[in-house]
């Protein structure tokens, strides 16, 4: 069970670092990048508060109910893994399409990064408390 919690926490944290790094690269070159980063922090907090915390909590419950002997990659349901794939594919498609301005793309990436980073706290908390 601890391994599954650790993997989930690391996955969300690593994804947030990757997305955040990309967004800093894009927003850092804009004159108004700091303002957009501030907007992303606020939006990311709301995303975490209203969406990510619930999703992480459901995953923690799933991990607990499955127990220690379950498949280690089953810490997310098939539906959640499909959502991860769609989100990753969508992000890559948006980035490569050139249809979205860098300012918007950087803000979206930063928003998702903040939401994931703050939401990952639920996994880290469950791991630390030995839930």
Task: Name the residue range of residue 54's domain.
Answer: 2-129
Whether the Cβ atoms of residue 25 and residue 96 lie closer than 8 Å to each other: no
- Residue 101 is classified by DSSP as -
In the chain, how many domains are there? 1
Q: What is the pTM of this model?
A: 0.89
Better pLDDT: 69 or 119: 119
Half-sphere exposure of 84 toward its Cβ, with a 13 Å CA cutoff? 14
**Quick one: pLDDT at residue 16?**
97
Task: For the chain, give the percent of residues with pLDDT over 90.
Answer: 74
pLDDT mean across residues, the chain = 92
Chain segment 27-80, per-residue pLDDT in tens: 999 999 999 999 999 999 999 999 999 999 999 998 888 877 778 878 788 888
**Quick one: pLDDT at residue 33?**
94
**Quick one: pLDDT at residue 74?**
81
């Amino acid at each position: 069970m601890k391994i599954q919690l650790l993997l989930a926490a690391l996955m969300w944290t690593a994804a947030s670092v990757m997305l955040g790094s990309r967004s800093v690269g894009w927003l850092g070159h804009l004159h108004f990048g700091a303002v957009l980063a501030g907007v992303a922090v606020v939006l990311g907090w709301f995303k975490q508060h209203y969406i990510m915390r619930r999703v992480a909590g459901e995953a923690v419950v799933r991990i607990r109910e499955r127990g220690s002997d379950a498949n280690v990659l089953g810490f997310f349901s098939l539906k959640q893994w499909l959502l991860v794939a769609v989100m990753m594919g969508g992000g890559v498609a948006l980035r490569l399409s050139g249809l979205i301005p860098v300012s918007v793309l950087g803000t979206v990436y930063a928003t998702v990064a903040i939401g994931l980073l703050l939401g990952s706290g639920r996994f880290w908390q469950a791991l630390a408390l030995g839930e």
